[in-house]
Amino acid sequence: MSTVAAENAQQLLDRVIHRIAPVWPLDSFVAVNPYWGFADRSFSEVAAQLQGTVGERVIMDRRWYADLLQNGKLNMVDILQATEDLGLDVDEEGWREYLRESSELPMRLPRLPELMDLRGHASVSRYVVEQISHFLAAYYDRGQSLWSIPKDPKTGLFGTWRQYTLADRSLGPMGLRPVRSQLLALSSNGAAARQWALQTMGIPQPAEEAYLLVLLKSIGGWASWCRYLLWQAELQGCSDEDLLDLLTIRMVWEALLRQTAQSKVLERWHRQIQAWIVDDKSADMEDARRGEVLLRASEIAYRRQVATSIRRQPAKKKNSTAPLVQAAFCIDVRSEVFRRHLEGVMPTLDTIGFAGFFGVLLDYRRQGDYAPRTQTPVLLNPGVHVMEQGTKAIIERRFRRLRRGAEWKHFKLSAASCFSFVETAGLSYVGRLLADTMGWHRPSIPPDEAGLSAAERATLQCVLPESLTLQERVAMAEFILTGLGLNRGVAPIVLLAGHGSSNTNNPHRAGLDCGACAGQTGEVNAKAAAGLLNDPQVRKSLVDKGWDLDPRCCFLPALHDTTTDRVEILGGMDDPRLDAGLLAELRQALEKAANLTRLERMLRLEPDVRDPETVARNMAYRGRDWSQVRPEWALAGNAAFIAAPRWRTREMNLAGRAFLHDYDVGKDPDFAVLTLIMTAPLVVANWINMQYYGSIVDNQRQGCGNKVLHNVVGGTIGVLEGNGGDLRIGLSEQSLRDSNSGLQHEPLRLSAFVEAPIEAMDRIIDGNGALGQLVNNRWLTVIQIAPDGSLFERRAAGNWVKM
């Protein structure tokens, strides 16, 4: 292969692997936009491409929208408006005829193993995926398996797979014994194997890139895992070859099968590829554009609900005194419900919405851990390294308890004892089984609590590094206060409430915690921020610089449990500056708001349960019940992002569907906070929104199927559905729908309402590549809230259309 040809091939492979979105491991599970690798292209173009190559659906079937129209949840006026907005030339009768017709699936690229499958015989296409998946599960194992594949950096992923496959005895029963001799003759070098596979497959150039994408998507779950490894390496300015090696493995399999397949199968394969190349794809694109029109029409209907409720001017207050308490919550949609009720039961309190990392870009290392864990949005690099601080005795006790547990588990699972374990120790498990069944025990213990009693845990602290100078600490404090909008008046009590979720027997439990904190709870961030803002030296420096901080002001860290809606204050209550009466009033208000929030959320979980005490018991039980597949609805229903002063939405019932970020442009003269909001929290909200969207429109490829059938693989890597197949990504069916009321998440792209000058937003969008692609290619919509409350939708830079 010539140098130019090799460079072209490398560019081709790089384009393919960067189409894959990453997936984070279970212990730091975060929502990811599954179409992140396609954000450089328009929404409808990607919909047509994925449907016409992989067979992946990006837009709901037209019958879905036909049913909405028939049921009155969608109207023709909105469809015609969306038609005009997207430049289509379709009249009302044309739409009614289109919605009456059945969808015609476009021709997609066939993979060779699919054509080798014979009825009544073991599936070759399924075997290829299973074989690769079994190897990767052992290769990447994180402590679940008692035997793992040794890794040699020099050999790499592809070379190790080659060795594994040469020793694999399952090839014979599948009728693929000749594969072994061909593989034995193939170089273990990944680059050489890729070159051989490309030449052997002989895919025509017009279909080459699409075919390689189809191959990688056939093992898409594991491809997403390898993309995560590459993502992490790129954050550190490094690289990782595993995703490219995984594509190589899949290419080599295809090339090996090409040499063993019957001639009539190969002939059929070539015919279908040629037919795909010459197929007129304009009809597919037209169908995708029409699908986007229907999607936009449903988004117009939702935006109308939000727009009619946004306040045009502040409500008249009975008294205009400054708030006695300010409570900052994460922008998570679950916080919207709690904030609304908390403001209702305590009028002297103001709530604030801010990303759950509270502006502290940190990672956190417990004593004894080998590596820190990230507590910031995954789009950002942590700049502060926080350490756990505790007495040596407590740390040693935790280590001993966890080690005993690990040794017991190893004994229970080892080959020497697994058959005799039930007879030997079975009776001792009766109590545990009964407690599991009755929901008597506590939920699964979070990592920070494992091995510790509540009293021991209370003594541990999150300590900022001593290497931070006073000047750096003051700068961090100023950043937090500015982001929270507290640069003009601070209340005597400021509550910083992160959030987490308490539930058991759920592999994806980290995904119910704070997605802004890399799948962790906001506890560490709240403690670190409160400790910094309570630091006497920092406070004195802030006052000296002109900050309006009441000497009595106290910052209290707290944690909002989104399963039970209980808010726990995590420390600082012995501060002598605290007003005991005001603190008691706050704690009472938090309990009342929790009751009201539970009652509202229960309507979506069990509508027949209405008594407050019964609801509270039910919510607590859901988190402890080992068989509960739906401890909470998490972020299902999310559809809007609002960055504006709180008075715009105060007392407005957004039904837990909006990310609420407080923002006052009058306190942000250089638009630094606006830039942070639009380039970090807004993008994170898009990731969450598109994960739910993708899991709804095509759960087979972008969701993880039936939660009841999940089996954890590799310790913390992910889940399989059943005992094999590809690694599953996205959300389970149980997180999206129930048998009574159907879908709990409506598939809508995110609508971002931002109160800021148009010119400033245009500059930020055009100055940030990732955000610009999302907005300009219609993966999310930005809407300006003008000072008078009017709304303007951004169609292009400088082109804002009044809604």
Q: Are 83 and 232 in contact (CB under 8 A)?
A: no
β-pairing, 384-389 with 362-365?
A: parallel
Closest alpha carbon to 389 in 468, 461, 467: 461
**What CA dihedral angle connects 661, 665, 668 and 671, to 10 degrees?**
90
**pLDDT over 70 at 384, yes or no:** yes
Amino acid at the residue 135:
F
- Could you tell me the two tokens for 258? 């090409």
pLDDT digits (tens, 9 = 90+) for 548-563: 888 889 999 999 999 9
* pLDDT confidence of residue 571: 85
Q: At 265, is the pLDDT very low, low, confident or very high (cuts 50, 70, 90)?
A: very high
* pLDDT confidence of residue 275: 94
* pLDDT confidence of residue 437: 60
332 belongs to an annotated ligand binding site: yes
The contacts of residue 585 (CB under 8 Å, 6+ apart) are 346
**For all residues of the chain together, what is the average pLDDT?**
89
Closest alpha carbon to 358 in 532, 501, 562: 532
Q: How do the domains of the chain map onto residue ranges? A: 31-106+282-305, 114-280, 324-389+465-633, 391-459, 635-803
**pLDDT over 80 at 780, yes or no:** yes
**pLDDT over 70 at 3, yes or no:** no
Q: Are 642 and 658 in contact (CB under 8 A)?
A: yes
Average pLDDT estimate for 109-118: 91
Could you tell me what percent of the chain has a pLDDT over 70? 91
Q: How far apart are CA 311 and CA 314, in angstroms?
A: 7
Q: How far apart are CA 673 and CA 344, in angstroms?
A: 28
The contacts of residue 226 (CB under 8 Å, 6+ apart) are 20, 157, 240, 242, 243, 245, 246
**pLDDT over 70 at 516, yes or no:** no
Q: At 410, is the pLDDT very low, low, confident or very high (cuts 50, 70, 90)?
A: low
Average pLDDT estimate for 488-502: 91
The contacts of residue 253 (CB under 8 Å, 6+ apart) are 113, 128, 132
Own/partner pairs, 651-656, CB within 8 angstroms, 24+ separation: 651/315, 651/340, 651/343, 651/344, 652/309, 652/310, 652/311, 652/340, 653/309, 653/340, 654/306, 654/309, 654/336, 654/340, 655/337, 656/333, 656/334, 656/336, 656/337, 656/600, 656/601
Average pLDDT estimate for 194-201: 95
* pLDDT confidence of residue 732: 95
Q: How far apart are CA 47 and CA 290, in angstroms?
A: 11
The SS3 call for residue 709 is: helix
Average pLDDT estimate for 342-367: 89
pLDDT digits (tens, 9 = 90+) for 692-718: 999 999 999 999 999 999 999 998 999
**What CA dihedral angle connects 581, 586, 589 and 594, to 10 degrees?**
-140
704 belongs to an annotated ligand binding site: no
The contacts of residue 251 (CB under 8 Å, 6+ apart) are 193, 194, 197, 198, 201, 212, 215
The DSSP H or E segment spanning 641 is: strand 640-644
Q: At 593, is the pLDDT very low, low, confident or very high (cuts 50, 70, 90)?
A: very high
**pLDDT over 90 at 608, yes or no:** no
Q: At 466, is the pLDDT very low, low, confident or very high (cuts 50, 70, 90)?
A: confident
514 belongs to an annotated ligand binding site: yes
Dihedral of CA 687/690/694/696: which sign?
A: positive
Phi, psi (deg, nearest 5) at residue 577: -75, -20
Closest alpha carbon to 165 in 194, 213, 130: 130
Average pLDDT estimate for 520-546: 92
**pLDDT over 60 at 443, yes or no:** no
385 belongs to an annotated ligand binding site: no
Burial of 266 (0-12, 13-18, 19+ CB in 10 A): middle
pLDDT digits (tens, 9 = 90+) for 613-639: 999 988 888 888 878 889 999 999 999
Tell how many helices (H) and how many strands (E) occur in the chain: 30, 19
Burial of 294 (0-12, 13-18, 19+ CB in 10 A): buried
pLDDT digits (tens, 9 = 90+) for 281-290: 999 999 999 9
The rounded Cα 44 to chain-centroid distance in angstroms is 23
pLDDT digits (tens, 9 = 90+) for 646-688: 999 998 999 999 999 999 999 999 999 999 999 999 999 999 9
Q: How far apart are CA 67 and CA 529, in angstroms?
A: 49
- Could you tell me the two tokens for 623? 């988190």
pLDDT digits (tens, 9 = 90+) for 60-88: 999 999 999 999 999 999 999 999 999 99
Q: Are 14 and 674 in contact (CB under 8 A)?
A: no
**pLDDT over 60 at 429, yes or no:** no
Q: How far apart are CA 614 and CA 208, in angstroms?
A: 60
Kindly report which listed range (120-124, 442-446, 593-597, 780-784) carries the lowest average pLDDT score.
Answer: 442-446
**pLDDT over 80 at 5, yes or no:** no
Buried-state track 173-204, b at ≥16 Cβ within 10 A, e below 16: ebebeebbeebeebebbbbebbbbbbebbebe
Q: Which residue has the higher pLDDT, 803 or 742?
A: 803
**pLDDT over 80 at 427, yes or no:** no
pLDDT digits (tens, 9 = 90+) for 143-186: 777 667 878 888 999 999 999 999 988 998 898 999 999 999 99
- Could you tell me the two tokens for 1? 């292969």
Beta bridge partners of 737: 743
* pLDDT confidence of residue 266: 95
- Rounded to 5 degrees, what angle do the CA atoms 317, 321, 324 make? 110
**pLDDT over 70 at 419, yes or no:** no
β-pairing, 658-662 with 640-644?
A: parallel
**pLDDT over 60 at 423, yes or no:** no
